[in-house]
């Protein structure tokens, strides 16, 4: 284990609880690399998670950590950040956490634009509870509550976040460590609400239910169902493309795997004034007005 990661890990909480081949560990590695690259002060980093396999992440991280309730992580994080804006608050959510039970909190966080970074560990299934259908499970895919194949259309977390108004929206995969690290870094740097939809592998449930049980195959599944945007001509999402040929190839691969191709990269990065800054302005004006009037009661 390299020193970079060791300093951010709680040795007492290792080994972690994740299955062999789970993608979550590689996300943690990228996240810790980003924290190291940005030289964030360890004492000022707060990691808030919901409930799920993803929700177990904070246990092993030597920051200020908060494992909250299912779906509410971003609401808890809102409180932490507004109470102390000097903290770097990272929110880790599962896809079910963020888009099912916590969907309301998630879209409002996108709209409200508090300076938080949301990392969504998107494995397309409910991991912790044993492989049930998630709002992100692709149509046709199996889960323990859709054995004959999912008949619902899935949420695309990127489009959801874009539609709800988030200022920074990106997608990456736990297959692509380099891209993942760089996008998490950019998301943390972004002043405002940033979302990184991280498609990750759950060989234990998504894999076993959908003929990609081997961790190696699951990683290839991630590779083949996604496509970095510079190689992609798809105009379905807000991004540009370069070579028709590669895009077609990627789409074809995804189609063979029975899912829509997911482009990866940054979909939106817009400079905006975050909620905390706006609130401080309002507060200063209110304090000045009150003092001008001759004191408070």
Partner 1 sequence: MSTSTKRPQRLIQGNEACAHGALYAGCNFYAGYPITPSSEVMEILSTEMPARGRTFIQMEDEIASISAIIGGAWGGGKALTATSGPGFSLMQEGIGYAAITETPCVIVNCQRWGPSTGQPTKGAQGDVMQAIWGTHGDHPVIVLTASNVRDAFEMTVKAFNFAEEHRVPVILLLDEVLAHMRENIDWPEPGEIPVVDRARPASAKGFKPFENNTFLPFGAGARFHVTGLAHNADGFTVGDEAAARELRRMVGKVQSKVRELAMFDRLRLDDATLGIISYGITSRPAAAAVEILRSEGIRAGLLDLKTLWPFPDHLVREVADRVDRIVVPELNMGQMVREITRSVGGRCEVQPCTRIDGHLLTPAQIVEAAKATLAADGSPGQRPIGCGTCCSERTVHS
Ligand X SMILES: Cc1ncc(C[n+]2csc(CCOP(=O)(O)OP(=O)(O)O)c2C)c(N)n1
Which residue ranges make up the site for ligand SF4 (CB under 6 A)?
Answer: 18-19, 22, 24, 53, 123, 127, 202-205
CA distances from 105 to 73, 97, 118 (A): 9, 10, 12
The single-letter DSSP state of residue 169 is: E
Out of 26, 33, 49, 54, the residue judged to bind ligand X by CB under 6 A: 54
Tokens at 142, concatenated: 């199996």
- Block residue for tokens 């300093």: 7
> Given candidates 38, 40, 66, 241, which one binds partner 1 under the rule CB under 8 A?
66
Cβ at position 21, least distance to ligand SF4 in Å: 6
Q: Where are the beta strands (DSSP E) in 140-230?
A: 168-173, 194-199, 226-228
* Residue given tokens 């894999």 in the structure block: 207
Does residue 57 belong to the site contacting partner 1 (CB under 8 A)? no
In the set 21, 58, 94, 167, which binds ligand X (CB under 6 A)?
94
Among ligand SF4, ligand X, partner 1, none, residue 94 binds (CB under 5-8 Å by kind): ligand X
DSSP, res 153: P
* 47 vs 53, beta carbon nearer ligand X: 53
Contact predicate 138/260, CB 8 Å: yes
Q: How many residues bind partner 1 (CB under 8 A)?
A: 42
Interatomic CA distance for residues 48 and 65, integer angstroms? 6
Tokens 């299934």, residue located: 125
Q: 63 contacts which partner out of ligand SF4, ligand X, partner 1, none, CB within 5 to 8 A by kind? A: partner 1
**Binders of ligand X among 123-182, rule CB under 6 A?**
123, 126-129, 134
Partner from partner 1, ligand X, ligand SF4, none contacting 203, C-beta within 5 to 8 A by type: ligand SF4
Task: Tell me the H-state helices in 41-129.
Answer: 73-83, 95-96, 103-112
Residue count at the site for ligand X (CB under 6 A)? 16
Is residue 39 within 8 A of residue 190, CB to CB? The reply is no
Of 32 and 93, CB closest to ligand X: 93
Residues present in the chain in total: 297
Q: Which stretch binds ligand X (CB under 6 A): 46-54, 157-165, 191-199, 241-249?
A: 46-54
Binding site for ligand X (CB under 6 A): 51-54, 70, 94-97, 121, 123, 126-129, 134
């Amino acid at each position: 284990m390299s020193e970079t990661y060791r300093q951010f890990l709680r040795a007492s909480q290792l080994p972690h609880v994740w299955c062999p081949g789970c993608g979550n560990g590689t996300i943690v590695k990228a996240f810790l690399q980003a924290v190291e690259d940005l030289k964030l002060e360890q004492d000022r980093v707060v990691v808030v998670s919901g409930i799920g396999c993803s929700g177990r992440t904070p246990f092993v991280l030597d920051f200020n950590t908060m494992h909250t309730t299912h779906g509410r992580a971003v609401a808890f994080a809102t409180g932490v950040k507004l109470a102390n804006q000097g903290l770097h608050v990272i929110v880790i959510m599962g896809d079910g956490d963020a888009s099912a039970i916590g969907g309301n909190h998630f879209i409002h966080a996108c709209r409200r634009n508090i300076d938080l970074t949301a990392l969504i560990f998107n494995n397309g299934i409910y991991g912790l509870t044993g492989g049930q259908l998630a709002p992100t499970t692709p149509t046709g895919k199996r889960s323990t509550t859709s054995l004959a194949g999912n008949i619902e259309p899935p949420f695309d977390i990127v489009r959801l976040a874009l539609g709800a108004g988030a200022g920074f929206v990106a997608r990456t995969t736990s297959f692509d460590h380099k891209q993942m690290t760089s996008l998490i870094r950019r998301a943390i740097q972004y002043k405002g609400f940033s979302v990184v939809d991280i498609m990750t592998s759950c060989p234990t449930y998504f894999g076993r239910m959908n003929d990609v049980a081997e961790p190696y195959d699951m990683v290839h599944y991630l590779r083949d169902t996604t496509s970095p945007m510079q190689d992609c001509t798809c105009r379905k999402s807000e991004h540009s493309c370069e070579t028709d040929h590669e895009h077609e190839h990627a789409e074809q691969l995804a189609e063979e795997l029975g899912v829509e191709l997911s482009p990866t990269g940054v979909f939106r990065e817009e400079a905006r004034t975050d909620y905390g800054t706006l609130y401080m302005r309002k507060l200063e004006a209110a304090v000045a007005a009150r003092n001008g009037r001759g004191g408070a009661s």
